[in-house]
Chains A and B, each alone.
Chain A
Amino acid sequence: MKILIIGLNHKTANVETRERLAFNGPKLEEGVFGLKKIPEVKEVAVLSTCNRVELYTCVSNTASAAENIKNFLSGFHNIARSDFEKSLYIHTDTDAIRHILRVGSSLDSMVVGEPQILGQLKDAFDFALSKKTTGVLLNKLMKKAISTAKRVRTETRIAENAVSISFAAVELAKKIFTDLSGKSFMLLGAGEMAELAARHLVNNGVTDVKVANRTYERGCELAKEFNGKAVKFEEFLNELIHTDIVICSTGAPTYVLLKDHMQKVMKERKHKPVFIIDISVPRNIDPEINKIENVYLYDVDDLQDVVDTNILERKKEAEKAEDIIDEEVEKFIKWMSSLDSVPTIVALRQKAENIKNEELEKFKNKFPDIDAEKMKALEYMATAIINKLIHPPTVALKEDTEDRDELIAMIKKLYGINGDENEE
């Protein structure tokens, strides 16, 4: 049994190809059963997300299985082989194990460290499990992928820091206010990015939302979306007194908020901290405002810097994660090989024991008068002979050699051991 992974992802295939090969909705079940019908395929699970389609299989022969799977994909998705073949990657054995562990740990993701992929992988396997298309090997591999992903998450800081501007804004807000629930928030102007950041804030518990826009009607629309209230743009300074977080993106050519204004506002609000995010270009808020006590002003470049350092940090952490993956791959390979050789060793020994016992029995029947002491010596000698005979093949089986699969097959053949009976 060999592990074979065939797939394509955002790095190897464009979105059109990914779409055409996706196993969406009812196609997933059909696809899993279809793949299972391929004679070489013993176990199968299918992962299909917007960034990747991957088929995890255990096969008896990798080359012919890969051929058949490609043909199946072509037929199933009604797409010529030449249209997708060059986008495919094929991993077998160690590479395959490493690949699935890297996918689960989000090292292969578009945004390294993003947490969704593990859940998607789990779902894919849970589905296969419920359809009974997986077996010992894939189930164990899946468990390994999950535990490795957890190890990566706890031992590295790969998923710790925000890698988008709007998440960075939320993270900073939490370093000023701890808990965002119950905090008041004002959207000044209505740019697209401002809206996105606003949505993140609302998702993180900000309740009191105000929108101040030059065109009041547009402000009303937005306010409705966030369950907030619209404020006349001219009155935003008064509202600022009761606002903890501000996102500004008005598209005005000059500063709309000056240091003098802000100083007055701060006095009015008894110097309670304010977090202001100015994502407009050109900037709409006088950068001098950052010098006022308890005012924290970040512009779009500041946030981008945060994101850039976080991405760099993730890359560093990803290196640590690769080491963890190496370790876990090795452990899995050890487990797999023990799975192969142990039953064979046991079967070999059993076979020898059986022969010994049989022959001793025959001997006893032939010479019923033999005294116990001699019989014991004879048994001892027989045991010594079989031990010496099976010792070299046992040692050979226990060794980690590349051709062990062949060796196992050969020993089974030579000694007449029926493999299937002795598997788990």
Chain B
Amino acid sequence: MGTVLFELALTFYFAATIISIVDIFKGGKESSRLMTFITGAGFAIHSISIIYRYAAAGQLPITSMHEASSFFAWCIVLIFFFLEYKYKIGIMGSFIMPIVFIFMLSSSVFPRGIRPLTPVLQSYWLPVHTFLAFLGNAAFAVACGIGTMYLLQEHYLKSKHLGDLFKRLPSLQVLDEINYRLITIGFPLLTLAIITGALWAESAWGSYWRWDPKEVWSLITWFIYALVLHVRLTAGWRGKRAAILSIIGFLAILFTFFGVNLLLKSLHAFK
């Protein structure tokens, strides 16, 4: 049952992603609406599948690569819908659904069994720490999509190539504003995630900070976004530069997520 729901959600996201990519080249209000609708259906099914798995495992399902990728995708869609509700930018999905789909796809290739958690990690810190980390990083993921939109729109305005996509993309000001908001939401979440992580580490492993690769890369990510906010407020690094930085920041997150878990030895790795 859980597998069926997951596959179903994956299929819906896949369909939405295909539509969203077609939408970039040849689309309009209708296809954007259809994409949002299909994503909504996928999101509902996805939510049920996560609840189902929560019930089966007895803990927040983020203890394997399969679960973590899927949950991360869920967080991104959650933020996407929040933004769509607030700003109503149909074309936005075209820049976010591909990210969602990549995480769902990666989730689908990892083993799906529910593995019991080592007793050391069984703590109320688990849901708090991970949820904060995932939500924060999901905000950064969406900021990356929005940053891409900004760069594209900026390019169109500068080169005076004012085609169909230019008309459907929102204004630079709106994109910059959303980007900034996402980072101001993501940054405190990431900060809290690191702090709660340190507290949890102290109670589980006996020390706050162990220079574990995941910790190091999270810290690097944290510094990147701290820099994004700092230069914005002091030197006026807005617009294009902020957009580029938010894309770089997300690349660091991708490495923290996939690279550290798969390539480096880490206490955080799902083993």
Interface string of A273-309 (1 = CB under 8 A from B): 1000000000000000010011010100010011001
Which of A160, A177, A293, A298 is in CB contact (< 8 Å) with B173? A177
B238 close to chain A: CB less than 8 A: yes
Interface size on B, residues (CB 8 A): 20
Of the four ranges (under 10, 10 to 19, 20 to 34, 35 or more), the interface on chain A belongs to 20 to 34
Which of B157, B166, B237 is in CB contact (< 8 Å) with A271? B237
> Chain B contacts of A309 at CB under 8 A?
162
> Chain B contacts of A130 at CB under 8 A?
none
- Contact A271-B173, Cβ < 8 Å, known A175-B153, A298-B160: no
- Contact A175-B172, Cβ < 8 Å, known A271-B238, A273-B239, A294-B239: yes
Beta-carbon contact of A305 and B171 below 8 Å: no
> Chain A contacts of B238 at CB under 8 A?
270-272, 294
Beta-carbon contact of A176 and B173 below 8 Å: yes
Q: How far is the CA of A302 from the CA of B157 in the complex (A)?
A: 11
B236 close to chain A: CB less than 8 A: yes
Q: How far is the CA of A38 from the CA of B107 in the complex (A)?
A: 80
> Chain B contacts of A176 at CB under 8 A?
157, 171-173
> Chain A contacts of B166 at CB under 8 A?
175
Beta-carbon contact of B162 and A271 below 8 Å: no
> Chain B contacts of A272 at CB under 8 A?
236, 238
Report the nearest B residue to A268, measured CB to CB: B236
Interface string of B151-172 (1 = CB under 8 A from A): 0010001101010001101111
Beta-carbon contact of B240 and A178 below 8 Å: no
Which of B157, B167, B236 is in CB contact (< 8 Å) with A296? B157
- For window 197-253 of B, CB contacts with A under 8 Å fall at 235-241
A174 close to chain B: CB less than 8 A: yes
Beta-carbon contact of A270 and B241 below 8 Å: no
- Contact A178-B173, Cβ < 8 Å, known A290-B158, A298-B160: yes
B22 close to chain A: CB less than 8 A: no
> Chain A contacts of B170 at CB under 8 A?
178
> Chain A contacts of B236 at CB under 8 A?
269-272
Interface string of B162-187 (1 = CB under 8 A from A): 10001101111110000000000000
Interface centre among B160, B170, B236, B240 (most CB of A within 10 A): B160
Q: How far is the CA of A174 from the CA of B158 in the complex (A)?
A: 15
Q: How far is the CA of A52 from the CA of B162 in the complex (A)?
A: 34
Beta-carbon contact of A178 and B174 below 8 Å: yes
- Contact A175-B240, Cβ < 8 Å, known A306-B162, A309-B162: no
Q: How far is the CA of A273 from the CA of B235 in the complex (A)?
A: 14
Beta-carbon contact of A175 and B157 below 8 Å: yes
Report the nearest A residue to B153, measured CB to CB: A175
Interface string of A337-355 (1 = CB under 8 A from B): 0000000000000000000
> Chain A contacts of B173 at CB under 8 A?
176-179, 273
- Contact A174-B239, Cβ < 8 Å, known A296-B158, A302-B160: no
Beta-carbon contact of B172 and A273 below 8 Å: yes
- Contact A174-B171, Cβ < 8 Å, known A294-B238, A296-B157: yes
- For window 156-180 of A, CB contacts with B under 8 Å fall at 160-161, 172, 174-179
Q: Closest CB of chain B to A148's CB: distance in Å? A: 20
Which of A270, A271, A293, A305 is in CB contact (< 8 Å) with B160? A305
Q: How far is the CA of A272 from the CA of B170 in the complex (A)?
A: 18
A-B contact pairs, 9 of them (CB 8 A): A172-B162, A175-B172, A176-B157, A176-B172, A176-B173, A177-B172, A273-B173, A296-B158, A306-B162
Question: A-side interface residues toward B, CB under 8 Å?
Answer: 160-161, 172, 174-179, 269-273, 290, 293-294, 296, 298, 302, 305-306, 309
Q: A270-B235, A293-B240, A294-B239 are in contact. List 9 more A-B contacts (CB 8 A).
A: A175-B172, A176-B157, A176-B172, A177-B172, A178-B170, A178-B171, A269-B236, A296-B157, A305-B160
